[in-house]
């Protein structure tokens, strides 16, 4: 039944491995979509799970399938603890992105772990999940999926920029939503600060002390991906193949690596945000990197807007909640103009408990 209001638990786990973002949101439709986030939390990964998830690209498909079951159970327990903590009795469904284990759209392959039926069975809730698979089957990149949410929930901004493991952007062009991954961000920064015992570069302070290595900067900016037209997307495999080797062979100090890579990020993003008098909503963990934001403001004429912490941290989970709502209504939640699929479609698997 098509309703005007949906109460949803939405779950997202990103490439930066900060943890599992879980929110309880209410979506309302009255000519336009609106939302209210009731509760939101990031459930940190244990060191064991963080190690497992950071090594997914080295696992075989069979190993991933085995891990998928364990991760689905882990996810179910995490979601249930959230539901219990906030005493949530009114839930239409759980919308879960899962965690990307393998993403090779050029081989018609994408695999998100954490989407097994055990999720619905353990929670005793309807679950809508596995949003990327159908898009890849339709010839799309299976990413990014957030732009439909940018269009429907954040249309007051010219650009929606997310700074997570990767930087991705979405905007309207000739009445079409355009979106793509721009470059790696935290997936690289966190990798190098982990070598000095840190999880992240707090406010970009380490990067701010470093010097730009012009040779490395030039090599990074010349990577073939940046010349490719949209739609396009990035994954950890690409970073391991093209970014880490270029950096590692130079044996630079950590602060110089971070300073150079921050410069690279700012330049790549600025090449996309071209409009004077435009506004850019910035979300994701990178929005807290003051030094990166400072460099970005120096290099683009678009007004950089940092929203409240709830939107910075939980916008992606919120949008996957909306994707679930649209799937439940059998309405388009995946745009061909964004992913390159052969058609717009309503994507996502619906799991019912004990079915």
- Where is 33: in which H helix or E strand? strand 32-43
Q: Are 296 and 280 in contact (CB under 8 A)?
A: no
- Asked if residues 270 and 280 have their Cβ atoms less than 8 Å apart, the reply is no
Residue with tokens 């949906």, as numbered in its chain: 6
Reported residue count of the chain is 355
Q: Which two tokens stand for residue 215?
A: 């040779």
Helices (H), the chain: 47-54, 61-85, 118-123, 133-137, 147-153, 186-193, 205-208, 214-221, 236-238, 244-248, 254-270, 290-299, 309-328, 336-339
Q: Which residue has the tokens 């219990």?
A: 84
Rounded CA gap, 142 and 278, in Å? 28
Q: What are phi and psi of 259, to 5 degrees?
A: -65, -45
SS3 202: helix
Phi, psi of 30 (to 5 degrees): -145, 85
Under 8 Å between Cβ of 24 and 86: yes
Tokens found for residue 265: 């990020």
Q: Tell me the three state secondary structure of residue 301.
A: coil
Radius of gyration of the chain (CA): 20
Which spans in 86-163 are helix H? 118-123, 133-137, 147-153
For residue 16, what pLDDT is reported?
Answer: 67
What is the separation of C-alpha 183 from the centre of its chain, rounded to a whole number of angstroms?
13
Q: How far apart are CA 178 and CA 277, in angstroms?
A: 19
Cα torsion 264, 239, 161, 278: sign: positive
Residues with Cβ within 8 Å of 1's Cβ and at least 6 positions away in sequence, in order, are none
Q: Residue 264's closest CA among 216, 204, 201, 208? A: 216
Dihedral pair phi/psi, residue 162, rounded to 5°: -110, 130
Q: What is the distance between the terminal CA atoms of the chain, rounded to a whole angstrom?
A: 20
Low-confidence ranges of the chain (pLDDT < 70): 1, 15-16
Spacing of C-alpha 308 from chain mean position: 18
Say if CB 149 and CB 319 are below 8 A apart. Answer: yes
| Beta carbons of 345 and 330 less than 8 angstroms apart | no
Separation between Cα atoms, residue 281 and residue 158, nearest integer Å: 8
User: Which distant-in-sequence residues (6+ apart) come within 8 Å of 26 by Cβ?
Assistant: 5, 6, 7, 8, 35, 36, 38
Angle 47-249-213 from CA coordinates, rounded to 5°: 100
């Amino acid at each position: 039944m098509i309703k005007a209001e949906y109460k949803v638990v939405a779950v997202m786990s990103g490439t930066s491995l900060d943890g599992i973002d879980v929110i309880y949101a209410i979506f309302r439709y009255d000519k336009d979509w609106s939302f209210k986030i009731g509760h939101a939390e990031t459930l940190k990964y244990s060191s064991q799970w963080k190690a497992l998830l950071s090594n997914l690209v080295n696992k075989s498909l069979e190993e991933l399938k085995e891990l998928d079951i364990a991760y689905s159970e882990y996810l179910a327990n995490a979601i249930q603890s959230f539901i219990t903590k906030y005493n949530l009795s009114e839930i239409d469904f759980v919308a879960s992105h899962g965690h990307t284990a393998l993403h090779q759209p050029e081989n018609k392959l994408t695999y998100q772990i954490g989407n097994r039926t055990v999720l619905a069975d353990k929670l005793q809730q309807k679950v809508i999940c596995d949003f990327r698979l159908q898009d890849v089957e339709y010839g799309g990149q299976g990413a990014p999926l957030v732009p439909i949410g940018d269009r429907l929930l954040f249309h007051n901004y010219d650009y929606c920029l997310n700074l997570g493991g990767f930087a991705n952007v979405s905007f309207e062009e000739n009445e079409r939503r355009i979106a793509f991954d721009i470059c790696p961000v935290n997936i690289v920064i966190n990798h190098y600060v982990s070598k000095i015992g840190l999880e992240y570069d707090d406010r970009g302070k380490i990067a701010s002390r470093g010097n730009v290595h012009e040779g490395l900067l030039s090599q990074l900016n010349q990577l073939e991906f940046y010349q490719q037209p949209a739609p396009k997307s990035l994954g950890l495999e690409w970073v391991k193949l093209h970014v880490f080797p270029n950096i590692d062979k130079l044996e630079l100090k950590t602060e110089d690596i971070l300073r150079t890579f921050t410069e690279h990020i700012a330049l790549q993003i600025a090449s996309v945000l071209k409009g004077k008098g435009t506004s850019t909503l910035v979300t994701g963990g990178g929005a807290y990197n003051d030094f990166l934001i400072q460099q970005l403001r120096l290099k683009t004429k678009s007004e950089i807007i940092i929203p409240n912490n709830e939107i910075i941290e939980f916008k992606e989970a919120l949008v996957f909640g909306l994707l679930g709502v649209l799937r439940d209504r059998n309405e388009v939640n995946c745009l061909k103009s964004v992913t390159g699929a052969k058609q717009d479609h309503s994507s996502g698997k619906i799991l019912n408990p004990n079915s």
